Amino acid sequence: MSQFTLNLLVVGASFALYIGIAIWARAGTTSDFYAASRGVNPIVNGAATAADWMSAASFISMAGLIAFVGYGNSTFLMGWTGGYVLLALLLAPYLRKFGRFTVPEFIGDRFYSQSARVVAVVCLLVCSITYVIGQMTGAGVAFSRFLEVQNETGLFIAAAVVFIYAVLGGMKGITYTQLAQYCVLITAYTIPAVFISLQLTNNPIPGLGLFSTHAESGMPLLTKLNEVLIELGFQDYTGHHGSTVNMVLFTLSLMIGTAGLPHVIIRFFTVPKVADARKSAGWALVFIALLYLTAPAVGAMARLNIITTIFPDGTSAEPIRYDERPDWMESWEQTGLLAFEDKNDDGRIQYYNDNSEEFASVAAERGWEGNEMVTFNRDILVLANPEIAQLPPWVLALIAAGGLAAALSTAAGLLLAISSAISHDMLKSVLTPNITDKQELLAARVSMAFAIALATYLGLNPPGFAAQVVALAFGLAAATLFPALMMGIFSKKMNTYGAVAGMLAGLIATLLYIFTYLGWFFIPETNMLANTPDNWLLGISPLSFGAIGAMINFLVAYLVMKVTAEPPEHIQELVESIRVPRGAGAAVDH
């Protein structure tokens, strides 16, 4: 059986499972569609939350980021994991106790204002649409390679699959589909990692293999990786070469951005009790840890495998000939996500850091005229890793299904958050309050269909690789929704004027900074002069600005609150009732 046929069978079987679950768990009411009728078991919800949160950025892109940067990109691990702890401890139980369907609904009711609700909807849409671009991009990458189609075609296929099970099933269908997708993605991620760890270190546990001995050289794996990178003019893998300030701000931005993500928060609205929300958070952390403890090893081992593939004799002096390149390179070249250019016409592949002044003289002596791996999309690394390590065909098919499961699970959660904001928080609560449940359910499905179409369109021209786009979404969530949620829960005195002013200030400041330093509509070519670290304000990266935006939000909200009227007494009593431990096992459903 050919690899393509095997890929098709495994991926097709996983899609049939997802669609079958959606049909079985089809949403028949708005409560089913928005919150699965609040009847999800905490363990099931924990696995579904893990799948919802571990997106294409986690599965497909994060290991690639770590592989090509090293220690500096450990910020993704620290920020995303730390942010989930923040969400579990400070937000999830209290929001579940409040008993609403959506984040804008909580903000609208807590701040006793339709204006606050509308502003929260705007912030949610900006964050979620930016985030879903990364998921569709990741799905397109996975489809393009394993189904041997163009990236654009892959994206259309992904959109069609999400459309079927998300529009049909709503939260109820998505929850059980995400449970299945978690099982697929964690199996797909772990099995290749175990194989590769065994090959390189003789240790079957990738996280331990990262700190074990490289079997071939007898050196510690990370020491060997540092050696081969430095030999090719790259920076050492384990050193920190960036700005410490940016590293701290970016980690903080990811942390509080995670805690403010609407599509993750709404998962805690699906359990019966507040106590179940806490249990769900605990189980989700366990399920998330299985992948996050493996990702650093996958990144480091993949980088070493790539270099030793191009330089099979163990030295950097004699790279392989282009016409003798392994099959995995040829396969990925067909997608356009990997490309070579023979700059010195010697028929070989020179892979080195052609920006290194120290290595320039060595390259000149060898007749090398530039790095000939002119394109290597970082999003392909995890998907290509089993091929690089020459693992069995069934492993390649499994990781194809896993990559698609990761992208589609988060995309579905985001699209549900978007459609809920439009149908429940705008149409039902603001524009047409007299519509029936049946009409609201139809509006939710129509708005989700439009959201899928928009995400597909934007995914065709993404502003960057998956994890970079997702990082922007986290920054926007950090600057807008997280402060409003925190102040709504922990400040009785915060009023509608402060909350609205804070959200708008955080949103506008963050968007202006991103547009200024990444280019309008995130297209770097439109603003190349500003898109350099030397031109950033105080050296702060646009990807790190979410933390600054959150500070602006808090400050503006506090200042406005001090000069405006206090919230009504019943709102202050409501806030107090959310925070106190009495009745912690119950929830106030409306």
At 456-487, the pLDDT tens digits run 887 776 655 445 566 677 888 899 999 999 99
Question: Tokens 């990997």 sit at which residue?
Answer: 338
Contact 437, 83 (CB under 8 A): no
pLDDT at 584 over 50: no
Closest by Cα among 170, 196, 259, 110 to 577: 110
What's residue 137's pLDDT? 72
Could you say which of 3.40.50.150, 1.20.1730.10, 3.40.710.10, 1.10.3720.10 is the CATH number of the domain covering 3-17+42-302+386-461? 1.20.1730.10
Say yes or no to pLDDT of 563 above 90. Answer: yes
Helices of type H across 54-150: 56, 62-69, 74-90, 92-98, 103-110, 114-146
Q: Where do we find the tokens 């007494």?
A: 569
Q: What are residue 339's DSSP bridge partners?
A: 375
How many whole angstroms separate alpha carbon 536 and alpha carbon 100?
Answer: 40
The mean pLDDT of the chain is 82
pLDDT exceeds 90 at position 94: no
For range 160-164, the mean pLDDT: 78
Over 60: is that where the pLDDT of 589 sits?
Answer: no
Residues in CB range of 275: below 8 A, 6 or more apart: 584, 585
Q: Is 50 exceeded by the pLDDT of residue 522?
A: no
The 10 Å Cβ neighbour count of residue 336 is: 12
Closest CA to 117 of 515, 564, 488: 488
The pLDDT of residue 275 is above 90:
no
Q: What is the pTM of this model?
A: 0.79
| pLDDT cut 90: percent of the chain above it | 16
Residue 212 predicted with pLDDT over 90: yes
Are the CB atoms for 166 and 29 separated by under 8 Å?
Answer: no
In the predicted structure, residue 532 carries a pLDDT above the cut 70 = no
pLDDT at 527: 37
Average pLDDT over every residue of 548-577: 93
Residues 6+ apart with CB under 8 A from 102: 34, 262, 266, 269, 417, 420, 421, 424, 425
- From residue 180, alpha-carbon distances to 14, 22, 44, 51 in Å are 9, 11, 10, 9
CA-nearest of 187, 190, 181, 188 to 405 is: 181
| pLDDT given at position 550 | 94
Q: Distances from the Cα of 571 to the Cαs of 106, 585, 587, in angstroms?
A: 12, 22, 17
Residue 164, pLDDT > 80, answer no
pLDDT at 125: 86
Q: Which of 565, 590, 428, 397 is nearest to 496 (CA)?
A: 565
pLDDT digits (tens, 9 = 90+) for 422-455: 887 888 877 888 888 788 888 888 888 888 888 7
**More confident site: 381 or 224:** 224
Beta bridge partners of 321: 348
The pLDDT, as a whole number, for residue 520 is: 40
Instruction: State how far the Cα of 251 lies from the Cα of 257, in Å rounded to an integer.
Output: 10
The tally of CA atoms less than 13 A away on the side-chain side of residue 569 is: 0
Q: Is the pLDDT at 524 greater than 60, yes or no?
A: no
Q: Which residue has the higher pLDDT, 381 or 585?
A: 381
Residue 200 zone, left/alpha/beta (φ > 0; ψ -120 to 50; rest):
alpha
pLDDT at 553: 95
Least confident of 139-153, 290-304, 521-535: 521-535
Mean pLDDT value of segment 189-211: 91
Most confident listed range (127-131, 245-249, 316-320): 245-249
User: Is pLDDT at 36 greater than 70 in this prediction?
Assistant: no
Q: Which of 231, 209, 229, 232 has the alpha carbon at shortest distance from 221?
A: 209
Q: What is the pLDDT of residue 476?
A: 83
CA 56 – CA 97 distance, rounded (Å): 31
Domain residue limits, the chain: 3-17+42-302+386-461
